[in-house]
Amino acid sequence: MGVNPGRRSTGPRRNPDSADAILDAAEAVLMEGGYAGFSIEAVARRARAGKPTVYRWWPSKAALLLEVYQRGKRVDNPDTGNLEEDLVGFLNSLFLHWRETPSGSVFRSLVAEAQSDPTAAAALAEYAKGRRAHTGQMIERAKARDEVAADVDPKLVADLIASFAWTHLLTNRLDDDETTIRTAVRYVIRGIAPPAPPAIRQRSRRRRIVG
């Protein structure tokens, strides 16, 4: 069955109307059948599109699910002028989204499936590149404010933050209070902070000797 005549396919370049119809259909299939009942075939039937059209724009089920996830994702990327507050706000918002929205359980299933499915792993790795750059923006801003050492790699720090978040997602610990999240963020910030000026280091050393 071809694409609905009202939503003409344009080859490899997406037709916005057709793409939106497929994403709408994917959300509906996911809502009705859950992750286990989700398939490209079911999405194509509901969208009145051919499977080749879906696969032309999304090379795998995981790739389509990740776009559905991103489409509904509402997570803060704070810019408060303070890195600790930015990261705590981001993690609080992310945990809330994962905990209280249907897409949170979808993402958990995708991460789990990626451990044994190379296709899902590849889709998740591609997704993580964009998220790494997105979270890394908070680190870049902090570097510009001299909160972070000049030689720190923002994307690597973003991976550390993501590791903390994904571990909590996979172990169903998304109800950690802000104190726990803030403590973890402070550990990270302590490791990436610029070195203290010599005079401050000397005063700190003298306090330790006297104490």
pLDDT in tens, 180-197: 999 999 999 999 999 877
pLDDT reading at 59 higher than 90:
yes
Task: Convert the pLDDT of each residue in 139-163 to its tens digit.
Answer: 999 999 999 999 999 999 999 999 9
47 pLDDT above the threshold of 90? yes
Higher-confidence residue of 206 and 90: namely: 90
- Full set of structural domains in the chain with CATH: 1-58 (1.10.10.60), 71-196 (1.10.357.10)
What CA–CA distance (Å, rounded) separates 10 from 202? 67
Q: What is the 3-state secondary structure (H, E, C) of 34-50?
A: CCCCCCHHHHHHHHCCC
Dihedral angle over CA of 181, 135, 97, 54, nearest 10? -150
Instruction: Write the burial class of residue 85 (CB in 10 Å: 0-12 exposed, 13-18 middle, 19+ buried).
Output: middle
* pLDDT at 24 (0 to 100): 96
116 pLDDT above the threshold of 50: yes
- Take residue 196 and report the two structure tokens written for it: 């203290």
Of the pLDDT bands very low, low, confident and very high (cuts 50, 70, 90), residue 175 is: very high
Task: Using the predicted structure, report yes or no on whether residue 6 has a pLDDT greater than 50.
Answer: no
pLDDT tens-place string over residues 83-96: 999 999 999 999 99
Report if pTM > 0.75: yes
At 180 the pLDDT is: 95
